[in-house]
Structure 1
Amino acid sequence: MSISAKAWFLYAGDGTNTGSPAELALEDFELPSLRPGEVLVEPLYGCWEGNMGHCLERDPIDVCRFRGEKRVVIGNAGVVRVLQRGDGVEGHPPGECAIVYPGTVLDPWGYPVKAFAYDAPGTIGFLSTRMIITAENLLPLPSPSRFSTMQWAAFSARYTTAWSNWRLAYGTYRLMVPHEQLPAPNVWGWGGGTTLAQLDLARRHGCNAVMLSASDERLKLIERTGVTALDRRRFGNLYYDEMRAGTDAAFRRAYQQAELAFARDVEERTHGQKVQIFVDYIGTPFFRATRKALSRDAVVTSAGWKEGMSTSFMRATECIDRHQYVHTHMASRQEARDAIAYGEEHGWMPTPDERIFSFEEVPELSRKFLAGDVGFFPLFAVNPET
């Protein structure tokens, strides 16, 4: 028996690069009948993630063509409510609320290779009024919980990713410099909600946590989280364009002045220690400034990129300085469970953006996200609680 649903579909591109993001199409469709081990759920709230923006920009891949499908439904972050269980499913009773664990294809050690509603074929994401998912990909929320389903929707992907990345980055640093030698390392970062979640974890581990932003709204939220907020605009333009720097002398001088001002501020704020762990989710254009901030025996860590995937450095210099580079992708299922438990117990929890977009407003949300006109945790309601 098929199940009727409505979804925002992303269609495959025609192979030409128009420079404009793809448009989503709202259409009715039919889900197949439940198979053994599957669960029918309804999304309550979804959180717009960076990978969704990459999908619309078809960068670095056209996910439809990659999956070999004419159209796909994206969105792998949020909270769902169980409606019906297939044969053989234990637990997950109707009415249960859960986070969707996005790791669909895992490596032998349990770390995700392909993501639900992104590059994993045949998966249908949060831009649909109904979803079918395997029971093992449901992570039940604490019941009762001190926090709202909207907070958990914002938590779902960004905070679990932050947990996994911080666990490895902090552990790597502590292999070099034990706690008794430096109890409060300096941890700085730039990026979005995952960076903020990770710096909040750093703060809770006794580190001196600083986050940079060029948005007044974001700076206020950073402060409310307990992380030191630093206005990036005070230094000038730290966005480095290698090609332009090679041809535009005025740009090159302005960038060098901005980088120097930033490096001086790092020295002053850290009393000469500089930064021991730098959380950099932006990528290529800020990588020069990231490296300028590093101390010896330091870690650069990331689980994604916002603006540029490729970085380069002198291997000999990095070896001498003992700089470690940590790269992770999402989280293992156990790490996600641990993150949920820690969040509930310790109040490590996001503050969603004030505006919650309706399901009909999803295209507007997508445009605002790509324009950088949203906060750290932009949510959309699919089947909101009454």
Structure 2
Amino acid sequence: MITTEAWVLHAGPAGAESGNPVPGELVLEDFSFPDIAEDEVLVEPLYGSWEANMSHALERAPVDVCRQRGEDRMVIGNFGVVRVVRPGKAVTRVKEGDLCLMQAFARTDDHGYVKLVHAYDAPGTIGVLARRTKIGERLLLPLPESTRYSLQQWAASYGRYWTAWDNWKVAYACWRSQVRVSPADMDPPPLAFGWGGGVAVAELELAQRAGFRAAMASGNPQRLAEIEAKGMIPVDRRLFPDLDHDEDRMAADPDYRQRYRQSERTFLKIVNELSGRRGAAVIIDNIGKPVHRATLRALGRQGVLATVGWKHGMRLENIRANECIKRHIHVHTHACCFHDIEEILEFQEGSGWMLELGDQRVYRFDEIPVLARDYAEGNLDSYFPLFRINQD
């Protein structure tokens, strides 16, 4: 057995209602697991990125993943840079001391898309919120020895950037399936608009490379400055503060209905002006229900609604006739394809498609609960929250 220090999530109360879960907390304690098998690798996590699924695990929404896995406790954390401590006897791709990106593809379908996620819903898997952990050899991708990026940049970016790469690839292919003109040949350029966080930022960077005009909403001044620094159009979310759609409140509360409609009109006016009165060509929406109605109204003809997240509200409604008549395509993806990971790494290394960390905070291992709280409360200035586990 191997015993290590880890931030551990315990299972919630038995019989707790899925609609009213009891949130969990991370507890710093010893965590033991069986020694590595022949095809596994013992690693030291160095840096990790706080991902939305980690917060979902703590919130026990939509499920209590510990109970789903049939375990009393688990260690979360899907993405990070790790150092190889000891490879199993049958391991050939990595050696002691290698620096690698840890992948989350615990189980995939026949085409390489993830079905069960490492350190989330895949039983027996151990995440990076531990001083040491183990993982199958196939889920380690060695970093280029001469990489021009820091370990912190890789740890903070690749989970979100690779998800963005896959979602944009599908969304752009869908848009081109109905639009014969290249974005570069259109005047004004088609508009790609983003709701969300780091994934949306990364996708909009790809949209710019493809010839789109990119805009993104945020109510955080520092994030608005970051958006503008990337050559995108910052849209101040505070200009439409009541854009939070709730159908029941619309019917029951006249004051709320009036405030919502005013915010929606303001938002649609902004999109109309930015798009040359065509509506957005592509909207990346990783928020969900609060902005769904306005998003569909802002989407132009032959527009694509692309999503890879579900931060608020997992059940959405639309009027099918409207979506058909406007020839809207709805794209839903999750993570990326396992078979593409080496190509994406090479693209990032060669193209410069990488975030700049600047002087953003790197949370220490003992500050992990603070990071979890700051993420849940929206108190992060960066789209790419980063933490350190061991010294590099």
The reply to whether residue 327 of structure 1 matches residue 356 of structure 2 is no
CA distance in 2, matches of 1:271, 1:153: 38
Instruction: Give 1:114's aligned residue.
Output: 116
Which letter maps to 1:378? P
Q: 1:75 pairs with 74, 77, 89, which one? A: 77
CA distance in 1, matches of 2:231, 2:125: 38
Contact 1:80 / 1:99 at 8 angstroms: preserved in 2? yes
Deviation at 1:93, TM superposition (A): 1.5
Instruction: Give 2:4's aligned residue.
Output: 5
Deviation at 1:16, TM superposition (A): 3.4
CA distance in 1, matches of 2:356, 2:69: 34
Contact 1:39 / 1:82 at 8 angstroms: preserved in 2? yes
Deviation at 1:180, TM superposition (A): 3.7
Instruction: Give 1:301's aligned residue.
Output: 306
CA distance in 2, matches of 1:247, 1:210: 34
Instruction: Give 2:389's aligned residue.
Output: 382
Q: 1:154 to 1:179 in 2, by over 3 A?
A: farther
CA distance in 2, matches of 1:336, 1:165: 14
CA distance in 2, matches of 1:267, 1:187: 12
Q: SS where residue 176 of structure 1 aligns?
A: coil
CA distance in 2, matches of 1:302, 1:269: 21
The reply to whether residue 216 of structure 1 matches residue 221 of structure 2 is yes
CA distance in 1, matches of 2:302, 2:356: 34
Q: 2:209 pairs with 196, 204, 213, which one? A: 204
Deviation at 1:20, TM superposition (A): 5.9
Instruction: Give 2:371's aligned residue.
Output: 365
Deviation at 1:91, TM superposition (A): 2.1
Instruction: Give 1:166's aligned residue.
Output: 168
Residues 322-353 of structure 1 deviation map (CA, whole Å, 9 limit, x = unaligned): 10000011111232222211111111112347
Instruction: Give 1:339's aligned residue.
Output: 344
Q: 1:372 to 1:206 in 2, by over 3 A?
A: same
CA distance in 2, matches of 1:257, 1:176: 33
Q: SS where residue 259 of structure 1 aligns?
A: helix
Alignment of 1:126-205 (within 5 A): 126-180=128-182, 183=186, 184-205=189-210
Residues 32-59 of structure 1 deviation map (CA, whole Å, 9 limit, x = unaligned): 2211111111110011011111111100
Instruction: Give 2:261's aligned residue.
Output: 256
The percentage of counterpart residues that share the same residue type is 44
Q: Give the number of aligned pairs.
A: 384
Q: 1:178 to 1:101 in 2, by over 3 A?
A: farther
CA distance in 2, matches of 1:384, 1:273: 51
Contact 2:306 / 2:330 at 8 angstroms: preserved in 1? yes
Structure 1 stretches of 4+ with a deviation exceeding 4 A read 17-20
Which letter maps to 1:287? H
Which letter maps to 2:286? Y
Which TM-score applies when normalising by structure 2?
0.95
CA distance in 1, matches of 2:249, 2:218: 23
Residues 236-268 of structure 1 deviation map (CA, whole Å, 9 limit, x = unaligned): 321112222221100100100110111111111
Residues 58-108 of structure 1 deviation map (CA, whole Å, 9 limit, x = unaligned): 000000011110001111011111111101111212121111111111011
CA distance in 2, matches of 1:20, 1:363: 17
Contact 1:100 / 1:156 at 8 angstroms: preserved in 2? no
Contact 1:64 / 1:70 at 8 angstroms: preserved in 2? yes
Q: 1:305 to 1:234 in 2, by over 3 A?
A: same
- Mark the runs of 5 or more structure 1 residues left unpaired by the alignment: none
Contact 2:190 / 2:275 at 8 angstroms: preserved in 1? no
CA distance in 2, matches of 1:188, 1:207: 10
Which TM-score applies when normalising by structure 1?
0.96
CA distance in 1, matches of 2:105, 2:292: 28
Pick which of 205-214 and 228-237 moved more: 228-237
- Mark the runs of 5 or more structure 2 residues left unpaired by the alignment: none
Q: 1:236 to 1:25 in 2, by over 3 A?
A: closer
The reply to whether residue 48 of structure 1 matches residue 54 of structure 2 is no
